[in-house]
């Protein structure tokens, strides 16, 4: 501590607002004076209805509520206080001359925080009031922290959305569609699509392990590194080499620099030659995408060609090549889609294959149909994982024998 520097002045606690509810003026005045002597602000309600009106119009920190009152007794007033979202967490101390265990138990069951018998003992009164107000201050502090955290997560959500393409590339003869929905405000899934200097179309779908803020930070790192490395490719670099080089660098960087965090991502990374329909791809431990060459053909799977990215330095994926014929469609998804839980269990991969076989519109229409089926399956169940869907479709009808 620097003795020459004065200690910062701590802000004083604000006076708390306490509502006294009693049908007898003598009791109201007595409690109000005691409250003011403790340095707090006192309000007065003459019955339960008056109390509910004031609670609806103003902010209060504590209610001292008499039980025996005409028109609406303290039990019913307490029940209505707890039933209102605005006042459900408001501390309430019941005040009554009824000193019976049954009455105390009933008040606590209805949600009262404490019980104060009449006549008032000044020391006990002060202790009950300060104890309840301490809980209220803690509650307010927690609420402020949660609001601040919520604002930070909203900012993080907007930033993360900025890592997704604002618009998918427009490629003659092809259509693209995508959807990415985090299970929480932010998540670890992402998709990307962009043109390389030589004219190839890069398509990426990845799933960073875990969920929430940590996964979102690594999502940004994986996405940025993959895009930066791929777009630096020389125009004469073979596309399979671009894939291997980009993913190898990211894998070794994550495993070496961030290996202590045990973070990794499954990645499907494809480079498409739009003119010929040739697609070079690697599947780093990702869910096997569906590829359907024609409506009458069963969908094929593009299985893993290597381990997830970031698990171990030096591990490599191999590159495979497939030709997408006119009318062909590719559906890439994360396990949050196939594993999505509903009343009947997980959605399953077969349901996604059925959407691919059933829908014949654009790539985005297929993605939208899959999202609708997913929403119908999940219903009111809470999402347990991020969900990403990406579709690439070649326009035209497949030639006979093609």
Q: What is the pLDDT of residues 54-113, one digit of tens each?
A: 999 999 999 999 998 888 999 999 999 999 988 988 999 998 877 677 888 888 899 998
Could you give the residue ranges of the DSSP H alpha helices within 197-259?
A: 212-231, 239-257
Confirm if 83 and 107 have CB atoms less than 8 A apart: no
Q: Pairing mode, if any, of strands 174-181 and 387-394?
A: antiparallel
What is the phi-psi region of residue 330: left when phi exceeds 0, alpha when psi lies from -120 to 50, beta otherwise? beta
- C-alpha–C-alpha distance, residues 132 and 60, integer Å: 12
d(CA 64, CA 402): 83
Q: Which structure tokens are listed for 339?
A: 């594993």
Q: With cut-offs at 50, 70 and 90, classify the pLDDT of residue 10.
A: very low
Cα Rg of the chain (Å, integer): 32
The secondary structure element, H or E, covering residue 30 is helix 25-37
Confidence bin at 211 (pLDDT 50/70/90): confident
Cα angle, residue 125 at apex, residues 120 and 129 outer, rounded to 5°: 145
pLDDT-based confidence at residue 160 (cuts at 50, 70, 90) = low
DSSP assignment letter at 306 = B
Give the span between the Cα atoms of 27 and 63, in whole angstroms: 14
- The pTM (predicted TM-score) of the whole model is 0.69
pLDDT in the model for residue 157: 63
Query: Cβ-count burial of 63 within 10 angstroms (0-12 exposed, 13-18 middle, 19+ buried)?
Result: buried
Q: Is 347 exposed, middle or buried (0-12, 13-18, 19+ CB in 10 A)?
A: buried
Residue 1 DSSP class: -
Residues in the chain: 402
In the sheet with 62-66, reading across from the earlier edge strand, the strands are: 41-45, 17-21, 62-66, 92-96, 114-117
Please report where in the chains the tokens 């502090």 appear, as a residue.
Answer: 141
Lowest-pLDDT range of 7-16, 24-33, 203-212, 373-382: 7-16
Confidence of residue 218 (pLDDT cuts 50, 70, 90): confident
User: pLDDT band for position 6 (50/70/90)?
Assistant: very low
Mean pLDDT, rounded, for 219-231? 93
402, pLDDT greater than 50? no
């Amino acid at each position: 501590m620097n003795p020459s520097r004065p200690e910062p002045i701590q802000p004083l606690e604000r006076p708390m607002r306490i509502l006294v509810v009693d049908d007898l003026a003598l009791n109201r005045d007595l409690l109000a004076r005691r409250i003011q002597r403790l340095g707090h602000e006192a309000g007065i309600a003459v019955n339960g209805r008056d109390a509910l009106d004031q609670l609806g119009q103003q902010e209060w920190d504590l209610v001292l509520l008499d039980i025996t009152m005409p028109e609406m007794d303290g039990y019913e007033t307490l029940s209505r206080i707890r039933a209102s979202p605005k006042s459900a967490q408001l501390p309430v101390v019941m005040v009554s001359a009824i000193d019976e265990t049954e009455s105390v138990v009933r008040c606590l069951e209805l949600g009262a925080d404490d019980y104060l018998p009449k006549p008032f003992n000044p020391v006990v009164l002060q202790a009950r009031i300060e104890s309840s107000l301490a809980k209220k201050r803690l509650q307010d502090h927690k609420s402020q922290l949660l609001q601040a955290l919520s604002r930070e997560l909203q900012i993080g959500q907007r930033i993360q959305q900025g890592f997704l393409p604002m618009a998918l590339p427009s490629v003659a003869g092809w259509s693209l569609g995508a959807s990415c929905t985090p299970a929480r405000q932010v998540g670890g899934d992402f998709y990307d699509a962009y043109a390389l200097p030589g004219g190839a179309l890069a398509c990426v779908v990845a799933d960073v392990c875990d969920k929430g803020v940590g996964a979102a930070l690594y999502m940004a790192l994986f996405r940025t590194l993959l895009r930066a490395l791929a777009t630096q490719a020389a125009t004469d670099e073979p596309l399979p080499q671009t894939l291997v080089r980009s993913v190898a660098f990211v894998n070794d960087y994550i495993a070496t620099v961030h290996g202590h965090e045990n973070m990794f991502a499954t990645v499907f990374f494809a480079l498409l030659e739009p003119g010929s329909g040739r697609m070079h791809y690697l599947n780093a431990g990702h869910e096997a995408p569906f590829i359907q060459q024609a409506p009458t053909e069963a969908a094929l799977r593009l299985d893993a060609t290597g381990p997830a990215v970031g698990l171990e330095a030096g591990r490599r994926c191999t590159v495979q090549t497939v030709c997408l014929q006119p009318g062909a469609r590719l559906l890439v998804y994360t396990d949050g889609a196939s594993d999505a839980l509903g009343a009947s269990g997980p959605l399953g991969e077969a349901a996604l294959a059925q959407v691919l076989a059933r829908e014949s519109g654009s790539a985005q229409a297929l993605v939208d149909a899959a999202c609708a089926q997913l929403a119908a399956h999940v219903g009111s169940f809470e999402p347990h994982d991020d969900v990403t869907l990406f579709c690439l479709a070649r326009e035209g009808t497949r030639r006979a024998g093609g």
